[in-house]
Amino acid sequence: MGPASRDPEMLRKLLLAGADAFRVNMSHGDHATHAETIAAIRAIEKEYHRPIAILCDLQGPKLRVGAFRDGQAVIRHGSHFTLDRDPEPGDETRVCLPHPELFGLLDKGQRLLINDGKIRLRVIRASDTAILCSVEVGGVISDRKGVNVPDAEVPIPALTDKDRRDLAFAVAHGADVIALSFVQRADDLAEARRLMGGHGSLCAKIEKPQAVERLGEILELADSVMVARGDLGVELNPEEVPPLQKQIVNAARTLGKPVIVATQMLESMIESPAPTRAEVSDVANAVYDGADAVMLSAETAAGAWPEEAVTIMHRIASQVERDPGYKARIHFLETLPDPTTADALSHASMTIAANMPTITAIVVFTCSGSTARRVARERPGVPMLVLTPSTATARRMALLWGAHAVTTRDIGSFEEMIAKGKRMALRHGFGDAGSKLVMLAGVPFGTPGSTNLLHIVTLLGTELKR
């Protein structure tokens, strides 16, 4: 969300064009503006009776250079440039780096990347007061440009004071997902989890090489992950990012954690009403990989064609899913069920749907959403209708592969399960006369984590008339 898309009318258009979740970027704007955006989203959610996920994306500890005497300077290729602790405005030879934790940390030969990698420096010598660098790629450098340190683990917490204030705001305003930026280690997630106090789910943004190296540990503690290709593509060579994207998606899928692929997916649509063919292929490949969600950023936040961008994204995903080879592609990755009743039944539901052409949906009754995540991990060949009494659970399902969530009163008996499952499937377009549904639930009903029941039902012609 941004200036181009937070108007209620535009939000309505984006929802109808295919958006399932809305991202509030805490790096830009103030709390008053974000509160208005969240209120507008919730109003549209109520208008359309459709659960919508709101993801609040924390800025994280972005490193930045200081100011320049003339607002900017030109650094010559092959020259020397110094980053120091002197607060005086910089010039073409030096600038302040107001991050004392970096001094003495860097070694000779390590890289410093400024302004998304447009300026590339190589460390010659580092002390407690200055870092002397050779300029490998020069150019214009201006005030407060970001600094990436790809070759070292920077000893700074993942949450700044601003992030803590923003996280408290997000929790108070009912954000469904909190995205933590610049995660380097599993411990970075612990404080955010504590501050969330059980509200919402935690998404780890993978945008540092150190996070890739510890991906397994981070995935264990996060509720979901985002392949944040912007900074990841700055700190790594560009050719390294596509295989890493597949690696991260596969690791998340194996654990049944939702995975979002983000950044520059339809970048040209910031200014153009149509994407490039390469961008279309990029989005399609993320869908073929089995990602749960694909995300737009500047295209909808500040672009001239936000509705068109969402429409194109939706059309690409739908076209991929109609490809006869799509099912085989997403099942290249084997996701073996854990030795639990819930996992065994989730796997069975996928197998039944694959072998019975008349199955049109898997209906999941859940309180916490855990059974829905298990089913989604299997990537079944039919959509999943998630019925839950929890509004918070229904909203979080918006980021889950193949899930359509409906908030409804809990069931109390087997007969009520059958009747409600049929009624909701018909109401939301998941079947017709003769269609069969796989139903998953837990007995005793209303008990979280008790999934132990799989039942197949047939929709009758007489039920369509009710």
Tell me, what's the pLDDT at 317? 97
Among 23-27, 230-234, 413-417, which is the least confidently predicted range?
A: 230-234
What pLDDT, on the 0 to 100 scale, is given for residue 337? 79
Which of 37, 94, 253, 263 is labelled catalytic?
Answer: 263
Annotated catalytic residue: which of 64, 76, 108, 165? 64
Mean pLDDT of 345-368: 94
- The reply to whether 420 belongs to the active site is no
Q: What is the mean pLDDT of the chain?
A: 94
Q: Is there a catalytic annotation at residue 423? A: no
Catalytic residue among 111, 205, 420, 436: 205
Mean pLDDT, range 262-277, rounded to an integer = 96
Mean pLDDT of 354-372: 94
Q: Give the span between the Cα atoms of 142 and 198, in whole angstroms.
A: 41
The predicted model scores a pTM of: 0.91
Mean pLDDT across 111-140: 95
- pLDDT above 90 for 153: no
Smallest Cα–Cα separation from 183: which of 143, 154, 141, 223? Answer: 154
Burial of 178 (0-12, 13-18, 19+ CB in 10 A): buried
Summarize the confidence of residues 403-425 as an average pLDDT.
93
In this predicted structure, the answer to whether residue 450 has a pLDDT above a threshold of 80 is no
Active site residue 257: no
Q: What is the mean pLDDT of residues 314-343?
A: 90
**Which domains, ranges and CATH numbers included, belong to the chain?**
8-60+158-328 (3.20.20.60), 63-148 (2.40.33.10), 341-464 (3.40.1380.20)
Q: With bands split at pLDDT 50, 70 and 90, how would you rate the model's confidence at 433?
A: confident
322 is catalytic: no
How confident is the model at residue 155, as a pLDDT?
85
pLDDT, tens only, 72-103: 999 999 999 999 999 999 999 999 999 998 99
Q: Compute CA distances 337 → 85, 118, 282, whole Å.
A: 54, 45, 30
The reported pLDDT for the residue numbered 333 is: 86
What pLDDT does 462 receive?
Answer: 62
Annotated catalytic residue, options 6, 23, 257, 396: 23
Q: Is the pLDDT of residue 465 over 60?
A: no
- 3-class SS letters over 306-369: HHHHHHHHHHHHHHHHHCCCHHHHHCCCCCCCCCCHHHHHHHHHHHHHHHCCCEEEEEEECCCC
Q: Which residues pair with 262 in a beta bridge?
A: 228
pLDDT at 463 (0 to 100): 62
Q: Which residues pair with 430 in a beta bridge?
A: none
Is the predicted pLDDT of residue 464 greater than 70, yes or no? no
**Proportion of the chain above pLDDT 90, given as a percent:** 84
